[in-house]
Structure 1
Amino acid sequence: MDKRTKGGSLSKEQQLFYEREGYLVIENLLSEEEMLSVRQAMTGKVSMIADDLFASGLITDKLEGLPFQSRLAGLFESLTDKHFLKYGRGWRDRLPGYFELMSNPNILDAVESLIGPEIFASPVYNVRPKVPKVAAGAVPWHQDKSYWPGSNANPVITVWISFVDATLDNGCLHIKPRTHLSQLLDWHNEQYSGTGYTALHEHQLGDIETLALPVKAGTAILFNDRLLHMSTPNESDGVRWSVDLRYQPTDQDPMLNHGIGFLARSSKYPNRVATLEDWLAERMEHQARQ
């Protein structure tokens, strides 16, 4: 299949599908090796949470022998939503594994096919541990753009990646194709989970059929920031681990009110592309030492 002459890894058919439907599923975008550093970062965070829960007297066993997919679920099995939300509904720790993920050439090649080679990695990235029986795990119908309604950041591409198999049982992503063609809808903050997620009312969803997207680990789902989407509760025994990253052209608003993003790729200014050292220091671009 032909690829765009301007670069990128997506075929013309894939690009047209994304433009028409508002999303694209790319299977096996990341290998097990490429996911390893991210899983290690997640594992380190879980260990820090276990230490904190243990020190607070909320647990008596850190469950260090449990595997990646089930340890966090075990830690919160006898605790409440409030205990879980102490650590946030999504994590944005500046850990090397996350920078390595956001800078992954396979991801940037796919994004380049859609917005060109001048790519800014948004500060709005989230590590999502969807824990069984925790209300914060279920995300209501919404548009990502509701989180930056005053921004001119459009198009913003979300790259959602599952680090375990995402299934109907553990709360995979659900979308409404082609809804990205509408404007930002009026939204409200939901009240049931304690998270304040932006949400839409049932009557705003229209009659477009909902599409569930169960995927294997390492699969990426790219979608437009106006696409209606949600995820269901986790009814399994393990954690549904995912990460949602966001990318936009460099001439758009960097959304500084959400944090510090970074220049991830540039054909015009390759010497300005941020390094791990820059990102850890919260610099948007590379600054050569004098």
Structure 2
Amino acid sequence: MASEHWRDITSAPSTNILPGFTDEAFPDNFNLKAKPVVKEKKEGQLSDEKIRQFFENGYVVVDSFFTREELDPCKDAINDLVEDLAQKLYRTGRIKNLYSQCGFHERLTKIESEFPGANIILHKYGVLPEAFRDIWSNERLLNVVEQLIGPDIAGHPVWNLRTKTPQNEATTVPWHQDTAYLDTQCYSVLQPTAWIPLLDADESNGCMQVANKGHKTGKTARHQCCYGGTWYVMLEEEEMAETLDIDVQKDFITCPIPYGGMLLLNNLIPHRSLPNISDQIRWSLDLRWQNPGLPCGFYGLKDPILMRTAVDPGFKVDWGPFTGVDRHDKQREAVKDMLPQVDDKEFDTTIQGPWMKKWDIVHMNRHTEKVMDNVFDLYHGHQVKA
């Protein structure tokens, strides 16, 4: 998608083998051979057919899982986060109206109209409210995760609150594999994700699409950075066909999810979110897990959080050390040698991270321009001036 904030630099010198592409394949780590043996059925666990679909197709839709009593506190927590952001912007003169009269589905959009990029600030807040923690470590949900990776479960350092305001490029995520954001150590590690919408998610408000069975080769394909005017990596359809054996005419599946449901997908299947063309914000959470004994791939910046262990059935999650580390601060720290000093970091509406070192930067925008002067020095032996 074109943007007034980016320009094409594909003519810049480039190497054939990029830092993120290894051509290694780990198909057995993601297909039915990887399915753990579950000795006893636990509350909330999915049918054998649903689990088979997850491993065979790379994803599975669960239409009904959470109760309103479980999910509604997440909406309350988001309202509190929006209120906190509004107050900060108002106190500093960045907005002239708190829009307190607006509700869950509209308020952030109104704030965004006065302060473009407010949704990005909220997306990278890094605050993990108790309601989010409760969902992530929900007993029934961990029982499902146990069906996917076994009884030893850690929460991955990368979780996201999606602030999908209408008609906003910054919230429309292009085709990608989740491994493209992480270091190559995790390319062989199954990291299931639960994508949980906080309203009925459909094509009008930007639900997810997946590339059915796009994980079968076991490979992480070549991605590029960055998409349009965003910080997102992107995966071209031609590359999906060539490296991942995806039929782009047949394999793209749209996944509407009702409130209370979730989309489970692995970290190799290509997926994207559609544009939100409705008049409401599409809020959602994406939460990830993995075996705690395997590399998480987050560049050593933040450790996973142990949520369940087979050796201690009564284990209680200790959130303190995990919530005390801001992942987005760590991302910026990983590229701090490339970044200028930001006076108002709290209100900075750009995002940078170590994935920008992994892939060929083909689009310049306000997110990449802060690192661009040095990226080509580091990876191509050339420097490209803006």
TM-score by length of 2: 0.67
Looking at secondary structure, tell me which structure has more strand per residue: 1
In structure 2, the partner of 1:166 is: 201
**What is the CA deviation profile of residues 203-231 of structure 1, one whole-angstrom value per residue up to 9, with x for unaligned ones?**
12332421111111121111110001001
In structure 2, the partner of 1:248 is: 290
Q: Please, which of 281, 292, 307 is the counterpart of residue 239 of structure 1? A: 281
2:139 pairs with 1:101: no
In structure 1, the partner of 2:353 is: none
TM superposition shift of 1:65: 2.1
**After alignment, is 221-230 or 69-78 more displaced?**
69-78
2:189 pairs with 1:154: yes
In structure 1, give the amino acid aligned to 2:199: V
Return the index of the structure with the highest Cα Rg: 2
Q: Structure 2: any 5+ residue segments left out of the alignment?
A: 1-36, 242-246, 326-386
In structure 2, the partner of 1:224 is: 266
In structure 1, the partner of 2:309 is: 266
2:152 pairs with 1:118: yes
Aligned length: 277
Q: Please, which of 296, 299, 318 is the counterpart of residue 275 of structure 1? A: 318
SS at match of 2:175: strand
TM superposition shift of 1:40: 2.0
In structure 1, give the amino acid aligned to 2:239: Q
Matches within 5 A, 1:52-131: 52-80=88-116, 82-85=117-120, 87=121, 89-131=123-165
Q: Structure 1: any 5+ residue segments left out of the alignment?
A: 283-290
In structure 2, the partner of 1:143 is: 177
In structure 2, give the amino acid aligned to 1:108: L
**What is the CA deviation profile of residues 95-127 of structure 1, one whole-angstrom value per residue up to 9, with x for unaligned ones?**
222211111112111111111111111111101
In structure 2, give the amino acid aligned to 1:236: S
2:255 pairs with 1:213: yes
Gap change, CA 1:272 and 1:4, over 3 Å in 2: closer
TM superposition shift of 1:53: 2.1
In structure 1, give the amino acid aligned to 2:280: G
TM superposition shift of 1:59: 2.4
TM superposition shift of 1:90: 4.6
TM-score by length of 1: 0.88
4+ residue segments displaced more than 6 Å:
none
Rounded Cα–Cα distance in structure 2 between residues aligned with 1:91 and 1:240: 18
Structure 1 vs Structure 2 CA RMSD? 2.1
Check conservation: 1:99, 1:279, Cα contact below 8 A. Answer: no
**After alignment, is 273-282 or 152-161 more displaced?**
273-282
Rounded Cα–Cα distance in structure 2 between residues aligned with 1:22 and 1:235: 27
In structure 1, the partner of 2:47 is: 11
Gap change, CA 1:90 and 1:204, over 3 Å in 2: farther
In structure 2, the partner of 1:285 is: none
In structure 1, the partner of 2:166 is: 132
Check conservation: 1:4, 1:12, Cα contact below 8 A. Answer: no
